[in-house]
């Protein structure tokens, strides 16, 4: 039986989209991965392209006698659901060549300043969305009012988090101060208030059940380290044998957040757990 590709047509706003649905196939996935006007929707777990952006004749020709095509027109209810699930940036105009170059220059600047990979990724992505939102304006024409309008009409309207809004403000501020030699007036930017919520504190019994739940020694050791030593996930993954200072009952955390070293106390129980895991890993090798 031939694989099936279902082209589910959706009317979203003033545009029409095809949602490409199929059971996993390396051939089908690889084809849409290299198509320029097709993007992956992580919520629906399928490829999406705007009607008219990809030639259906070329699509049929490539998969001739290799797959079976089916078509589906969604109901109004499911269309509204799709509209909610699609990220708002899907509906923004793409960057022109000039702004694309400016974004690449900003990325190179951050690389030269040794920003972390995560900061670089977040700042580039948020600034790119800001540029796409103001597609009709050059970056030299952007003012504080444009940033305020973006916060109100894009971030708040789409109910993005306050942390995302702060990331956007930081990215735009850095871009204009470093690349445009133009400082944004922070006093005029609407920064959200930070939410103050009480932490969810686990009882001793809940912590005990949580730490004893993994049956795999490696997983139990990792979970115990994170809880007892207050490690971040990246700090745990980057630990080496030489970072365990058993003679001093300390753990040396190297180049963590902010590229800073720190030390944390090591309890006898965690040390014994680490030794047990280390000996077992040697025997398994």
Q: Is 254 helix (H, G, I), strand (E, B) or coil?
A: coil
d(CA 149, CA 155): 9
Domain hosting residue 81, numbered range: 4-86
Q: How many structural domains comprise the chain?
A: 3
Same domain, yes or no, for 271 and 236?
A: yes
In a domain, 245, yes or no: yes
Show which of 141, 158, 188 is a domain's final residue. Answer: 188
- CATH number of the domain within which 215 lies: 1.10.443.10
d(CA 131, CA 99): 7
pLDDT computed for residue 73 by the predictor: 65
Mean pLDDT by groups of 10 residues along the chain of 285 residues: 80 76 80 79 77 78 77 51 48 78 91 88 89 85 84 81 84 84 62 71 84 86 88 88 91 84 90 89 75
In a domain, 239, yes or no: yes
Q: What is the pTM of this model?
A: 0.52
In a domain, 242, yes or no: yes
In a domain, 105, yes or no: yes
Contact, 147 vs 176, CB < 8 A?
A: no
In a domain, 196, yes or no: no
- CATH number of the domain within which 148 lies: 1.10.150.130
């Amino acid at each position: 039986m031939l694989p099936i590709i279902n082209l589910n047509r959706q009317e979203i706003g003033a545009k029409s989209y095809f949602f490409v649905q199929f059971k996993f196939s390396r051939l089908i996935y690889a084809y849409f991965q290299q198509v320029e006007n097709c993007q992956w929707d992580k919520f629906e777990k399928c490829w999406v392209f705007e009607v008219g952006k990809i030639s259906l004749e070329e699509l049929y020709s490539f998969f001739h006698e290799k797959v079976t095509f089916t078509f589906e027109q969604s109901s109004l209810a499911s269309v509204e659901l799709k509209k909610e699930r699609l990220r708002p940036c899907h509906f923004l105009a793409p960057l022109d060549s000039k702004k694309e170059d400016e974004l690449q220059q900003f990325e190179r600047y951050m690389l030269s300043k040794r920003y972390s990979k995560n900061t670089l990724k977040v700042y580039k992505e948020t600034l790119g969305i800001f540029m796409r939102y103001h597609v009709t304006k050059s970056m030299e024409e952007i003012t504080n009012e444009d940033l305020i309008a973006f916060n109100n009409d894009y971030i708040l309207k789409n109910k993005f988090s306050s942390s995302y809004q702060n990331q956007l403000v930081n990215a735009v501020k850095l871009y204009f101060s470093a690349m445009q030699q133009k400082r944004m007036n922070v006093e005029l930017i609407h920064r959200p208030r930070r939410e103050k919520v009480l932490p969810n504190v686990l009882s001793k019994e809940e912590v005990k059940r949580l730490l004893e739940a993994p049956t795999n020694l490696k997983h139990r050791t990792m979970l115990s380290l994170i809880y007892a030593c207050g490690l971040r996930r990246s700090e745990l993954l980057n630990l080496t044998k030489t970072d365990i200072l058993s003679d001093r009952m300390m753990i040396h955390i190297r180049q963590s957040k902010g590229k800073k070293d720190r030390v944390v106390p090591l309890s006898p129980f965690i040390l014994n757990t680490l030794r047990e895991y280390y000996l077992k890993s040697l025997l398994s090798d």
